[in-house]
Amino acid sequence: MKSDKYKPTYILIALNVAIYIAGTIVGGNAIETGDEVVLVWGQVNSFVFQGAYWQLFTSMFIHASIFHLVGNLLFLLIFGLRGEEMFSLPEYLGVYFLGGLAGNLLSLVFGPNFISVGASGAIFALFGACIIYDRRSVRQSILGAVVFAFFLFFINTGEGVNILAHLGGLVVGLLLGYIIAARRKPEQQVNYQFQYRTTPF
Q: Which positions are catalytic? A: 120, 166
CA 7 and chain centroid, separation: 16
Q: Which of 178, 182, 166 is nearest to 129 (CA)?
A: 178
Please state the three-class secondary structure of the chain as a single string: CCCCCCCHHHHHHHHHHHHHHHHHHHHCCCCECCHHHHHHHCEEHHHHHCCCCCHHHHHHHCCCEHHHHHHHHHHHHHHHHHHHHHCCHHHHHHHHHHHHHHHHHHHHHHCCCCEECCCHHHHHHHHHHHHHHHHHHCCCCCHHHHHHHHHHHHHCCCCCCCHHHHHHHHHHHHHHHHHHHHHCCHHHHHHHHHHHHHCCC
